[in-house]
Copies of this chain bind each other. A is one copy, B any other.
Amino acid sequence: MDNIYRALADPTRRTILDELCKREGQTLFELCSRLVMAHGISSSRQSISQHLAVLEDAGLVITERRGRSKLHWFDGAPLRAIVMRWPVPTDRKEKS
């Protein structure tokens, strides 16, 4: 799964992940309106849909069809590949 990095490369996709962390199980329309409200993102529905497809392909978003809607959840599991690949220093507060 190497497309995590590509998925994280786009700022809109990162904001989508933020939004899905705040509220679980959002539909595409919920996400679109919330991205406009909270953040200044005013992309088309199709654009957000394509972003979600990239995120889902990377495993960062899990979906479930519910009738004519599609619900989206955030999943941080693929992010472990990053912290396992390179050393991430712990941020202990250091005195000067």
Residues of A within 8 A of B (CB): 2, 5-6, 8-9, 11, 14, 17-18, 21, 74, 76-77, 79-80, 82-83, 85-89, 91
Contact = CB atoms under 8 A, between A and B. Distances in A.
Given A76-B88, A79-B83, A80-B91, 11 more contacts: A2-B11, A6-B9, A8-B8, A8-B9, A14-B85, A74-B86, A76-B86, A76-B87, A79-B88, A82-B82, A83-B88
In the complex, the count of this chain's copies comes to 2
Contacts of A17: 86
8 closest residue pairs by CB, A with B = A9-B9, A79-B88, A5-B8, A76-B88, A76-B87, A5-B9, A76-B86, A77-B89
Given A2-B11, A9-B5, A21 B79 contact: no
Given A6-B9, A14-B5, A86 B79 contact: yes
A7 to B, nearest CB: 9
Contacts of A88: 76, 79-80, 83
